[in-house]
Amino acid sequence: MLKPSRFTGPRCTHHGRLSQLRYNGISRDGAWRQVTQRITVTMGLRDASEAVSTLNDGKTFQEELSGETNTAVTNIMDIDRTPELLTWVFGELFGRKRGEKSASPAGVGSPEVATVGGGCFWCIEACFAELEGVISATSGYAGGHVPNPTYQQVCGKKTGHAEVVQVVYDASVLSYRDILQIFMSIHDPTTPNRQGNDVGPQYRSVILYHDEQQKAVADEVLAEANKGGWFAKRAVTEVAPLKTFYKAEAVHQRYYARNPNAGYCSFVVRPKLQEFRRKYAKRLRQNQVLTP
């Protein structure tokens, strides 16, 4: 279990000014609001908009939002993963006979695509990027009704979209069931519209299937999780068809790999990634670097 911790935000230098920012388990979006409000007061600016302009000259709003989030320190998600869950996951991944590979409906070496969402896409993408058999992991938005949404719009909670990761994987190494079982083990599927301190429909647990075969597997995995009691509470993961996947802005791709020491990455993404590496040590790729 990852125990929630309380941290005092780092001292951040903004144009030569130091400001001590304290974050006691606030969300990523809440951190953004606190940062802009505090900087506005400290620097004697008129409003948060002027603070953004001053600190992020030449950047898009999405880049500003992401950049200022680097100063946020949030609680680590508290998930109680039961022994039954670990037995379920490891039994599937490591219980095969020597030489036996995952079932692949498309044949050996054929790339398949899975789309899942479980909170901040920085976390999910960072984990799948290090998994053996994964060809690419792309952060994006899906499941909503607004075409070509921006990060700002999705954070506004009115687009219907979730932050998701589209995983392209080698079906001769991983099966779709493998992908889903690992996905279920690296986020909390029991909290509706929430992951840790990140709250909103964009952070919901969701599996977006590409065809009826994927839907059947997703339904089976979810049913197994609830029937077997692998989580302390019932999993509420949404299973829905993928209509359109919108790739997120470039600033969000490989975010952890490019910003490992950023506040959110240090205190939220890194602990989850370390736990992932510990649990799936035998399934990590030899070369842990994917092309952005």
| CATH (domain of 225) | 3.30.1060.10
Residue 45 confidence (pLDDT) above 90: no
- 112 plus 215 within the same structural domain: yes
Q: Are residues 172 and 122 in the same domain?
A: yes
Name which of 88-92, 219-223, 271-275 the model is least confident about.
Answer: 88-92
My answer on whether 201 and 249 are in the same domain is yes
Residue 11 has pLDDT above 80, yes or no: no
pLDDT at 154: 97
Q: At residue 29, does pLDDT exceed 70? A: no
Is residue 90 assigned to a domain? yes
Does pLDDT of 135 surpass 50? yes
120 is a catalytic site residue: yes
Residue 138, pLDDT > 60, answer yes
Q: Is residue 129, in this structure, part of any structural domain at all?
A: yes
Does residue 266 belong to any structural domain of this protein? no
Higher pLDDT, 274 or 21: 274
Among 102-106, 109-113, 167-171, 283-287, name the one with the lowest average pLDDT: 102-106
Determine how many CB atoms are found less than 10 A away from the CB of residue 273: 20
Nearest to 28 by CA among 218, 202, 226, 240: 202
Mean pLDDT over the full length of the chain:
74
Confidence of residue 44 (pLDDT cuts 50, 70, 90): low
**Does one domain contain both 91 and 55?**
no
Taking only the tens place, the pLDDT of each residue in 222-241 is 999 999 888 989 999 999 99
Residues 42 and 187 reside in one and the same domain? no
Percent of the chain whose predicted confidence (pLDDT) is above 90: 56
If asked whether residues 88 and 20 sit together in one domain, one would say no
- Tell me, yes or no, whether 62 and 107 share the same domain: no
Residue numbers of the domain that contains 43:
11-69
Active-site residue (options: 12, 120, 127, 155)? 120
Last residue of a domain, one of 69, 91, 117: 69
pLDDT at position 286 is 80
pLDDT given at position 51: 45
Residue scoring higher pLDDT (111 or 84): 111
Domain count, the chain: 2
Pick the closest to residue 128 from 115, 110, 141 (CA basis). 115
Asked whether residue 22 falls in the same domain as residue 126, the answer is no
Indicate if 45 and 151 belong to the same structural domain: no
- Residue 245: what pLDDT? 98
Which positions ≥6 away from 256 have C-beta within 8 Å? Answer: 122, 123, 125, 126, 265, 269, 270, 273
Q: Do 28 and 100 share a domain, yes or no?
A: no
Tell me the per-residue pLDDT of 253-264, one tens digit each, with 9 for 90 and over: 999 999 999 999
Same domain flag for 103 and 224: yes
92 and 37, same structural domain?
no
> Which of 137, 145, 133 is closest to 117 using CA atoms?
137
Residue 125 and residue 138 in contact, taking contact as beta carbons nearer than 8 Å: yes
Number of residues assigned to the chain: 292
- Could you tell me what percent of the chain has a pLDDT over 70? 61
The verdict on residue 5 lying in a domain is no
pLDDT at residue 106 above 50? Answer: no
Q: Give mean pLDDT, residues 60-83.
A: 34
Q: For 13-22, 23-32, 81-90, which range has the lowest pLDDT when averaged over its residues?
A: 13-22
